[in-house]
Structure 1
């Protein structure tokens, strides 16, 4: 069952990568970024649904919950970053918002790695 968790987490990480690539473009399309963000959020929700269906040991479940909380928090903040980027009109502001999004996505990618390492501790 943990292989399906790993697959769902991999899909979330891949979606983060796509969002990151699109957010770095010279003139990012705000609506496209919003759609990509929503897909990213849905990927994480799918992962959370699988976690709820999976019996995990306490040694894995406790750190997993902590990391999930942080990912949820950063996803909410990323959603705000996307909205602010959409509203930005000045090139300098767009660049600042893109940099903020990049930082937030890199943080989320680090949390993904932490989630993957935590899941790897679960015995098959």
Structure 2
């Protein structure tokens, strides 16, 4: 069974992903709001990392470490997409970045669901 603190942190991370998805998909969202929302996602994941792995059983710990590595990678790439989206001047470039961001968010959501299902 997944400890309650981990379950809460994973759920909060999942919510931050959903909120970010809503912000960046809204065509009326100003670019600074998109960046701020992405920072909230990063902070939420940092909360997960701050829990460490000691509270998990060995198998959960091994699985979590693998997911954390992949999540960290996707968040770094998503951060680059956010920067490029902010710098984009053409709608075609913005559309391409938003598509990539959507794909990364879907991957992150799947990882989060996998972490939550560990219990």
Q: Does the alignment reach a TM-score above 0.5?
A: yes
> Is residue 81 from structure 1 mapped to residue 81 from structure 2 by the alignment?
yes
Cross-structure match for 1:6: 7
> Is residue 36 from structure 1 mapped to residue 37 from structure 2 by the alignment?
yes
Any gaps of 5 or more consecutive residues in structure 1? Answer: none
Any gaps of 5 or more consecutive residues in structure 2? Answer: none
1:65 CA displacement: 0.3
Q: CA RMSD in A?
A: 1.3
TM-score w.r.t. structure 2 length?
0.93
SS in structure 2 of the partner of residue 51 of structure 1? coil
1:99 and 1:36 map into 2 onto residues whose CA distance is 17
Number of residues paired by the alignment?
Answer: 118
**Deviating runs (4+, > 2 A) in structure 1?**
none
Cross-structure match for 1:59: 59
Cross-structure match for 1:17: 18
1:80 and 1:60 map into 2 onto residues whose CA distance is 30
1:96 and 1:70 map into 2 onto residues whose CA distance is 22
Cross-structure match for 1:101: 101
> 8 Å contact 1:74–1:104 — kept in the other structure?
yes
